Homo-oligomer: A and B are copies of this chain.
Amino acid sequence: MMTLLKLCLLFSLLSLALSHDATFNSHLLPRPLILEDIDTQLKEHEEEINLQCTSWRFAAETNNLIPWKTIPRECAGYVKDYVTGRGYKLEMERVSNEAGVYAKTVLLSGDDKDAWIFDIDETLLSNLPYYADHGYGLEIFDPVEFDKWVEKAVAPAIEPSLKFYEEVLNLGFKVFLLTGRSERHRSVTVENLINAGFRDWDKLILRACDDHGKLATVYKSEKRSEMVKDGYRIRGNSGDQWSDLLGFAMSDRSFKLPNPMYYIP
């Protein structure tokens, strides 16, 4: 839609430019001014898209949006540029750095009951190769296609998360992996995590039969409640969805990784 609009704008300005062409003196004016106008207008259009999509991204990342199924069509290019560019990397690094600073300030009790929870998808493992083939969130989520991808067990590690994961282990936290993936994907998930460099987690929790159909917020809160009942203190929690972090039995401190591609309630 927006690309169409852009093209229309370009053509209408171009025809305007051509109709005036004869009056230009190419020696005095190295470039026809009207082309600069097109440049300016396209640039303004680009800036407007950038502004609107940044505003949308902030609303998404701060959990202000009404549940959404796909990214806004006009933000397709913006989201692609962001997740494949330096912005996404930088933000990933910053989350892990800040979480690292916090983790070091936590006084562990020495009873092996201080826990850190990690989500898996878009938190430890990146599904960017899958989303690259599916419009970076522009297509409605296809569970069948996504399962095929999961079963390949080739999702790469998010590097700053892997580094932070190691720090958490070294500091002596118990590590719980709490994922919305199904129990039937346990072995491929373990395989993928190990191949990506993750190790020594205390427990990997996946959705059992009776967890399917629950909202992620509820399922994850219930699992955290069980940890608390088992005497664990949840000192930190890292996830790319607010449904990883909110609800009940919440962590002392949560860290929200960026994810402008999809939303899980």
Contacts and interface: CB of A to CB of B under 8 A. Distances in A.
A94 to B, nearest CB: 5
A127 interface: no
Residue of A63, A64, A91, A94 contacting most chain B CB atoms (<10 Å): A64
A183 interface: no
Given A55-B87, A55-B90, A62 B256 contact: yes
A49 interface: no
Interface string A84-118: 00110011001100110110000000000000000
Given A58-B58, A98-B59, A87 B254 contact: no
B102 A59 contact: no
B64 A95 contact: yes
B66 A101 contact: yes
Counting chain A residues whose Cβ lies within 8 A of the other chain, the interface size class is 20 to 34
Contacts of A143: none
Contacts of A94: 55-56, 58-59, 64
Given A51-B90, A91-B58, A64 B101 contact: no
Contacts of A255: 64
B256 A63 contact: yes
B102 A52 contact: no
A66 B98 contact: yes
A157 to B, nearest CB: 20
Contacts of A254: 63
Interface of A: 30, 51-52, 54-59, 61-66, 86-87, 90-91, 94-95, 98-99, 101-102, 254-256, 258
14 contacts: A30-B30, A51-B87, A51-B90, A55-B87, A55-B91, A58-B61, A58-B258, A59-B98, A61-B62, A62-B62, A64-B98, A64-B255, A64-B256, A66-B101
